[in-house]
Amino acid sequence: MDILNVLNQILWVLGNVLLMYSSIALLVFLTAYLIIFDPRATTGGKLIFQFMLSLIAVMATVVIGIYIDPTANHSWLVLPDGVAVWRPALRFLVYGFVAYSITSLAILLVMRRWFPQRLKKASDMSLAQPRHTSAIDIIVDSEK
């Protein structure tokens, strides 16, 4: 049983390291996405940007829960004692933004697939067409 406690402690620390790594990587990705692409060019680009931004907010909320204002051994149905006054509202806003972002992306995918005539932006109406392999020129090496 002692090995399990040691393993759990190691996994807890490694999980926290991965959380911090993921948070930093997400910030770098979002910054690169903003610099390289124009998220406002299409609705999908805007929604992907919002989704990534909401993930950063989720990561920040988790970091707050682990490092700044931790709680332990409480039911998820009961507000723990000693939680900062601002934390429940922040969690509600962050998780609401994530739900909105995911729902918006799903609705856009459904609209593009089955109801493209109901889309309002011209850039959202132009769907990518897959290439057929018969249209691709094949170069054969004649020196073999």
Mean pLDDT, each 10-residue run in order, the chain (144 residues): 77 80 83 80 85 88 80 67 80 86 79 79 58 60 64
CA–CA distance, 55 with 22 (Å, rounded to integer): 10
The pLDDT of residue 108: 79
**94 close to 61: Cβ distance less than 8 angstroms:** yes
The pLDDT of residue 51: 87
What is the value of pTM for the model shown?
A: 0.56
The pLDDT of residue 77: 65
What are phi and psi for residue 54, nearest 5 degrees?
-65, -35
